[in-house]
A = this chain, B = another copy of it.
Amino acid sequence: MPELRKDPITGRWIIIASERAKRPIDFKAAPATLRGAATCPFCEGNEASTPPEISAMRYPNTRANDRGWRVRVVSNKFPALRVEGDLDKRGEGLYDIMNGIGAHEVIIEHPTHKTSLTGLTEEEIREVIWVYRDRLQDLKKDVRLLYGLVFKNVGETAGASLEHSHSQLIVTPVVPQQVQQEMQGGKHFLDYRGRCLFCDIIKQEIETGDRIVVSEPNFVSFAPFASRFPFETWIMPKRHMTHFENLPQHLIADLAHILKATLAKIEGALANPAYNYLIHTTPFDVGEVDYYHWHIEIIPRITRVAGFEWGTGFYINPVPPENAAAFLREVRIS
């Protein structure tokens, strides 16, 4: 059973995923290269190579764990958290521990061996987004679970071990510190200014314009003012919206459009870099609030995080976000 441990100094949680455990010798080997098409467990026809299907977008008259799907959700083969069991919160002297209860799912985005989400049509990306929404809505029903993070690792540098385009969903029994921090920032601003910080950011970015990457009627993508990484880009709905999983159906096409356009620009500018993206949304047990706004953070992994970053939480970014955005705006996509 994986274990959640709380750092008594910072309050940060970590997951000891002992089932992924390795002996020191395992770290000496060179990192494995990404598994390509020949042996890909995510390709149609290889359904038996993954854990059983949790849900799928399927053609009529096809069966679970067989061909005929368009988007497929399975458990992670090496889950960081597991859904069975009790939290069993306990202490060990100074320290706090609970069982690693949660969920860790993989969303396989296409039946063929696409290596980028931008290789999918917008119609296909809509289905991927629909599945994100659907899985969050489903897992939210489990009262033990407080937060669901949808994320994507592309490329070995960004932590991917398979190249077939996929996302992941980890659902945790505590609210992550990063989200708590963002919510606190939003609350302080609301107390002080009486407005939503995220809405104000969108307003200022649209007015100044120099950090905008793509602006559409319902969504905007931009390089954040204090970008941690070169070409970091966020996507936000222009209207206030707290929970990603409540995304109204009529906006899904618009989100698919801006997500594909923004990723295609980043891929074009940086020659298909490794990247992560993640969706920050409001915790399951928090209702509609005035101070938090869901968003997608896209992080190209082209610089290295070193001792200074680990030691301070500061980041050194060699590319001013205004320059990154100007460059991305110019990238032509087909």
Instruction: Point out residues on A near B: beta carbons under 8 Å.
Output: 3, 5-18, 20-24, 27-28, 80, 92-95, 147, 149, 151-153, 156-160, 168, 170, 172, 176-179, 181-182, 185-186, 189, 197-198, 200-201, 204, 208, 224-228, 230-231, 269-271, 273, 276-280, 297, 299, 302, 304-308, 310-321, 323-324, 327
Number of copies: 2
Known: A201-B94, A226-B5. A320 touches B16 (CB 8 A): yes
Known: A94-B201, A297-B311, A310-B299. A10 touches B317 (CB 8 A): no
Closest B residue to A186 using CB positions: B9
A-B contact pairs, 22 of them (CB 8 A): A7-B225, A8-B189, A9-B186, A14-B227, A14-B228, A14-B316, A15-B314, A22-B319, A23-B327, A24-B324, A28-B270, A94-B225, A151-B307, A151-B310, A158-B307, A159-B305, A168-B308, A176-B312, A177-B312, A179-B312, A276-B307, A278-B308
The winner among A11, A80, A226 for most chain B CB atoms within 10 A is A226
Dominant secondary structure of chain A at its interface with chain B: mixed
* A7 CB contact (under 8 Å) in B156, B177, B226: B226
Complex CA–CA separation, A226 to B299 (angstroms): 26
Is there contact, CB below 8 Å, between B318 and A17? yes
Complex CA–CA separation, A186 to B8 (angstroms): 9
Question: Whole-angstrom distance from the CB of A263 to the nearest CB of chain B?
Answer: 14
* A9 CB contact (under 8 Å) in B14, B80, B182, B310: B182
Is there contact, CB below 8 Å, between A297 and B310? yes
Closest B residue to A324 using CB positions: B24
Is there contact, CB below 8 Å, between A12 and B313? yes
**Residues in B whose Cβ lies below 8 Å from that of A227:** 14
Question: Whole-angstrom distance from the CB of A12 to the nearest CB of chain B?
Answer: 6
* A149 CB contact (under 8 Å) in B179, B230, B312: B312
Complex CA–CA separation, A224 to B12 (angstroms): 12
Is there contact, CB below 8 Å, between B312 and A172? yes
Known: A177-B313, A313-B12. A18 touches B318 (CB 8 A): yes
Is there contact, CB below 8 Å, between B310 and A226? no
Complex CA–CA separation, A147 to B314 (angstroms): 12
Is there contact, CB below 8 Å, between B172 and A13? no
Closest B residue to A158 using CB positions: B306
Known: A226-B6, A308-B151. A317 touches B14 (CB 8 A): yes
